[in-house]
Amino acid sequence: MIKVLEVIRQGHVGGGESHLLDLVMGFDTDLISPVVLSFTSGKMIDALRACGVKCYVIPTEKPFDMKVLNALKKLICDENIRLIHAHGSRAASNVLLLAGMLHIPLVYTVHGWSFHQDQPWLIRKLRAVSEKIICNRSKKVICVSANNKVSGEKEFGLKHAVVIENGINVRRFNPLLPFRDVRPELGIPPDDFIIGFIGRVTLQKAPLVFVESIALAHALDSRIKGLMVGEGEMDGEVAWYINDRHWGDIIYKVPFRSDIPEVLASINVFCLPSLWEGFSISLLEAMSMGKPLVVTPTDGTREVIKDRYNGLIVDYNNPNDLANRYYELLHDEPLRKKLGAAARLFVESRFDSCRVSKKVTDIYTGLFSH
């Protein structure tokens, strides 16, 4: 049995965290014994502990934080960790040095590169260099989309990388299940046409673009309103933006929730207006629930969404286009049904989370087979 330390930046339930939750729960416990480390607490940690998974929280919000090295070293030694799997660059940066010092193999999963085209040149370059260092010192790099792998190869000559697309629990995210109606507790009238935004409220997810698109769409048809589910560093800015424009009656905003299938069942359209993505778990969950989608063409999204076949694609930072697509979907029920059915069928046939756990287990065991 291989004892693996699964490391992630935060303990809230976002896309990468949902991926880790399903990954850990899908391991064959005769082969893999997972221990989870997060640098913040949250509902993902609570959920894993409730399932009997040993979890630790070592608080820090900084990359390459030397102040946590002693606590990390004690954890690794006390638990007799044989392999470290870091999910995301922030998590990897804080275990990279110790993995080398203790001669413990490091696996790195890229949930979208930390560099992207919208950044100032110097910041983008520094982040690319950071990613290169992490990848070069990892025994294996897992990219959650083929486009991420190509981007790494072009940017800094990424090697020894494999593509393992994210997966979800398609049995839990099944539109045929009898879900509880959460609209009453959220204060949403039954006749509202709800556009859902589910994820971290960060620059990456373009939450202000979403908010503005809802206001524009509501002006076209007063039935169109938005539901934002999540938390993040832009919470205050988003709240101020909504209050300053008096949009509180057309945008419902709630923190992270654990009942995401019920939330998805309550919305009419799912929107993912991100500026960059590796491979969005929230997107797959919405697809699995048979929801029509309005999305931007990020790396992972372009691999699963074909415009007007299983979703609608709009350009980045374009609230007007988003609003027009919501309006179109409201007034075209056959299109909604067509997109939703195609999305569900696509996910069901290709993205079961059990497949991900098996492929990651093969990587772990392969590192100790020689």
Please write the tens of the pLDDT for every residue from 201-234. Answer: 999 999 999 999 999 999 999 999 999 999 889 9
The CATH fold assigned to 183-350 is Rossmann fold (3.40.50)
Find how far residue 321's CA is from the centre of its chain.
24
b/e for 348-358, b at 16 or more Cβ within 10 A? beebbbeebbe
Question: What's the CA gap between 365 and 22, in Å, rounded?
Answer: 19
**Which amino acid does the sequence have at 110?**
V
Evaluated on CA atoms 295, 301, 305, 307, the torsion sign reads positive
Angle, CA 181 vertex, CA 198 and CA 15 arms, to 5°: 20
Q: For the beta carbon of residue 171, count every other beta carbon within 10 angstroms.
A: 12
Selected residue with higher pLDDT from 264 and 353: 264
- Report the number of secondary-structure helices (H) and strands (E) in the chain: 15, 13
Find how far residue 19's CA is from the centre of its chain.
7
pLDDT band for 355, please (50, 70, 90 cuts). confident
Q: Does residue 128 surpass a pLDDT of 80?
A: yes
Say which residues have a Cβ less than 8 Å from residue 362's Cβ, sequence separation at least 6.
Answer: none
Question: What's the CA gap between 22 and 289, in Å, rounded?
Answer: 17
Question: What's the CA gap between 110 and 278, in Å, rounded?
Answer: 7
Q: Is there a shared CATH topology between the 2-167+352-367 domain and the 183-350 domain?
A: yes
Rg (CA), the chain: 20
Q: Which pLDDT score, from 0 to 100, does residue 4 have? A: 97
pLDDT band for 198, please (50, 70, 90 cuts). very high
Best CA proximity match to 141, nearest among 125, 124, 164 = 164
**Which amino acid does the sequence have at 54?**
K
> Is pTM beyond 0.85 here?
no
- Are 44 and 38 in contact by the 8 Å Cβ rule? The answer is yes
Q: Which pLDDT score, from 0 to 100, does residue 215 have? A: 98
Best CA proximity match to 198, nearest among 116, 109, 289 = 289
pLDDT band for 324, please (50, 70, 90 cuts). very high
Best CA proximity match to 146, nearest among 336, 303, 344 = 303
Q: Among residues of the chain, what percentage have pLDDT more than 70?
A: 99
DSSP symbol at 259? -
Question: What's the CA gap between 43 and 229, in Å, rounded?
Answer: 14
Average pLDDT score over residue span 74-93: 96
Q: Does residue 15 surpass a pLDDT of 70?
A: no
Average pLDDT score over residue span 292-309: 93
3 state DSSP class of 87: strand
Q: For the beta carbon of residue 29, count every other beta carbon within 10 angstroms.
A: 9
Q: Among residues of the chain, what percentage have pLDDT more than 90?
A: 75
**Pairing relation of β-strands 83-87 and 161-163?**
unpaired
Say which residues have a Cβ less than 8 Å from residue 245's Cβ, sequence separation at least 6.
Answer: 215
Contacts 24+ apart (CB under 8 A), 309-312: 309/339, 309/342, 310/339, 310/342, 310/343, 310/346, 311/287, 311/339, 311/343, 312/339
Tokens of residue 282, six digits: 């929230």
Q: Which pLDDT score, from 0 to 100, does residue 32 have? A: 96
Selected residue with higher pLDDT from 160 and 251: 251
| Architecture label for domain 2-167+352-367 | 3-Layer(aba) Sandwich (3.40)
Q: Could you tell me the residue ranges of all domains in the chain?
A: 2-167+352-367, 183-350
- Are 189 and 219 in contact by the 8 Å Cβ rule? The answer is no
Q: Which element (helix H / strand E) includes 366?
A: helix 353-367
Tokens of residue 15, six digits: 């896309």
Q: Does residue 14 surpass a pLDDT of 80?
A: no
Tokens of residue 203, six digits: 């620059």
Question: What's the CA gap between 133 and 176, in Å, rounded?
Answer: 46
Angle, CA 290 vertex, CA 48 and CA 267 arms, to 5°: 80
Best CA proximity match to 116, nearest among 233, 205, 204, 17 = 204
User: Tokens 């997972």 appear where?
Assistant: 34
Question: What's the CA gap between 230 and 300, in Å, rounded?
Answer: 21
